[in-house]
């Protein structure tokens, strides 16, 4: 396998000159979208850049207002006909982008880049990239500072994507990999995002090294995406002995999504550790990876005296995509711990997409009496539907259906 060395003085080989784009101008600033070229390989990173130039003799502060405020980024890029890149794991949206104002020094320009591959998978073909945003110009780094100017920026950038031949894709990644040692933090972050998002198997060593940097979280997910024996082994190593608890949990979660059941014993081993967070992550990962095979081991957890262990087993059963997990979870609606009961009800919804409702709310199971009533409703439902109901996984999203 080829090895890539990272050097710091690389910007010259990457800033290839932006391919033509229309510019939008206001009295104080000028802005335009562009790509670095018009032809890409399948699996090659595609960046859209927004260049904003300050035409005044004083510093300016920019507030970006993209059309979709729920997407983190200062501008949006839409690619009709491209497949979405998101991996379906559960449903819903949460989080905050934490946008701030961006400074542009007098007479200078700033360049913002967005990795198109984080939203779309670009297969062979011709694509039109529709980029747009609105920019509010202020004289101070305050959102309530007087507005000096405002402009809308939009453009359609056309690219062609073709299959690579021989070592073409490796060659295309070589200048990107070198940016991982750039003195420019933004360039370094863009490079890390590109190699982590696309995770080509030939960069397995680079991805493993990235897990030792500030980009470790995305690099751990990339080890799963690269899906080579070496990257799966690296995930297991981090899961078993990493010094950072959060990175260990991240590795455990991704190990559970590798589809390599050879690592199921590793997850069972982690379930036995005396750490609630690791125990829970390992149980969920074991359910995801092992499916029905993991049900007996997860079921053993429901007899634990420790409520946290019972919750771990319950949540793991909810990820098994296994019919045999349902009656076990129904039984857990009678658990003495209300938190275990709540976890069982959530896991039953994950597997069946059914919920016991009282009026328009999920039925109350906070007391032993109310839980017993809900348990009986589930018992009756399961007796009638156990052989015909569809069993779901984390990639299935649907509104809860009433149990009766």
108 phi/psi in degrees, rounded to 5: -115, 175
CB-count exposure of residue 40 (10 Å: 0-12, 13-18, 19+): buried
Give the residue among 277, 357, 354, 288 at the shortest CA–CA distance from 318.
288
- 380-399 mean pLDDT: 92
Asked, for residue 322, whether it belongs to a domain, the answer is yes
Give the residue among 262, 197, 189, 194 at the shortest CA–CA distance from 223.
197
Q: What is the pLDDT of residue 397?
A: 82
Give the residue among 84, 161, 76 at the shortest CA–CA distance from 127.
161
Q: How confident is the model at residue 109 (pLDDT cuts 50, 70, 90)?
A: very high
Please state, in angstroms and rounded to a whole number, the distance separating the CA atoms of residues 41 and 45. Answer: 9
Asked, for residue 207, whether it belongs to a domain, the answer is no
Of 106, 136, 168, the residue that ends a domain is 168
Tally of domains within the chain: 2
CB 210 within 8 A of CB 191: no
Please state, in angstroms and rounded to a whole number, the distance separating the CA atoms of residues 139 and 145. Answer: 7
Mean pLDDT of the chain: 90
Q: What is the pLDDT of residue 340?
A: 96
Of 144, 168, 192, the residue that ends a domain is 168
Of 168, 186, 201, the residue that ends a domain is 168
Asked, for residue 16, whether it belongs to a domain, the answer is yes
CATH number at residue 102: 2.60.40.10
Q: What is the pLDDT of residue 252?
A: 98
- Name which residue leads in pLDDT, 27 or 93: 27
pTM: 0.86
Please state, in angstroms and rounded to a whole number, the distance separating the CA atoms of residues 328 and 210. Answer: 41
- 9-28 mean pLDDT: 51
Cα 306 vs. chain centroid, distance in angstroms?
Answer: 32
- Tens-place pLDDT, residues 333-377: 999 999 999 999 999 999 999 999 998 899 999 999 999 999 999
Please state, in angstroms and rounded to a whole number, the distance separating the CA atoms of residues 207 and 360. Answer: 48
Sole residue written with tokens 């078993």: 240
Asked, for residue 208, whether it belongs to a domain, the answer is no
CB 371 within 8 A of CB 336: no
Please state, in angstroms and rounded to a whole number, the distance separating the CA atoms of residues 221 and 225. Answer: 7
Sole residue written with tokens 């300050």: 54
- Tens-place pLDDT, residues 31-55: 999 999 999 999 999 999 999 999 9
Q: What is the DSSP string of 243-289?
A: S-HHHHHHHHHHHTTS--GGGHHHHHHHHTSS-HHHHHHHHHHHHHH
Domain span at 93: 11-168
Q: How confident is the model at residue 70 (pLDDT cuts 50, 70, 90)?
A: low
């Amino acid at each position: 396998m080829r090895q890539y060395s990272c050097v710091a003085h690389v910007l010259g080989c990457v800033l290839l000159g932006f391919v033509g784009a229309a510019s939008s101008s206001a009295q104080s600033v000028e802005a335009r979208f562009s790509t670095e070229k018009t032809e890409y390989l399948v699996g090659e990173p595609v960046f859209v850049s927004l260049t904003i130039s300050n035409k005044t003799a004083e510093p300016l502060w920019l507030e970006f207002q993209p059309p979709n405020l729920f997407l983190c980024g200062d501008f949006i890029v839409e690619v009709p006909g491209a497949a979405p890149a998101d991996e379906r794991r559960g449903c819903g949206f949460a989080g905050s982008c934490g946008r701030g104002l961006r400074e542009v020094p007098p007479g200078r320009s700033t360049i913002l880049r967005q990795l198109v591959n984080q939203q779309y998978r670009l297969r062979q073909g011709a694509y039109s990239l529709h980029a747009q945003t609105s920019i509010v110009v202020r004289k101070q780094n305050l959102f309530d500072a007087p507005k000096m100017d405002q402009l809308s920026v939009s453009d359609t950038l056309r690219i062609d994507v073709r299959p690579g031949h021989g070592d073409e894709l490796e060659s295309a990644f070589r200048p990107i990999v070198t940016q991982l040692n750039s003195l420019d933090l933004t360039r370094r972050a863009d490079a890390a995002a590109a190699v982590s998002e696309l995770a080509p198997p030939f960069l397995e060593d680079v991805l493993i090294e990235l897990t030792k940097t500030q980009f470790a979280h995305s690099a751990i997910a990339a080890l799963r995406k690269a899906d080579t024996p070496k990257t799966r082994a690296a995930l297991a190593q981090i899961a078993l002995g990493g010094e950072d608890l959060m990175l260990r949990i991240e590795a455990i979660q991704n190990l559970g999504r590798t589809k390599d059941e050879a690592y199921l014993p590793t997850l069972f081993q982690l379930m036995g550790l005396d750490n609630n967070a690791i125990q829970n992550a390992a149980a969920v990962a074991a359910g995801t990876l092992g499916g029905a095979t993991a049900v007996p081991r997860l079921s053993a957890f429901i007899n634990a005296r420790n409520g946290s262990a019972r919750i771990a087993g319950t949540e793991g059963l909810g990820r098994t995509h296994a019919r045999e997990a349902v009656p076990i979870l129904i039984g857990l609606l009678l658990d003495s711990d209300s938190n275990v009961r709540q976890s069982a009800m959530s896991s039953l919804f994950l597997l069946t997409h059914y919920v016991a409702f009282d009026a328009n709310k999920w039925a109350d199971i906070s007391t032993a009496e109310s839980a017993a009533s809900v348990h009986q409703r589930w018992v009756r439902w399961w007796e009638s539907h156990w052989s015909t109901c569809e069993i779901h996984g984390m990639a299935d999203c649907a509104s809860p259906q009433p149990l009766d």
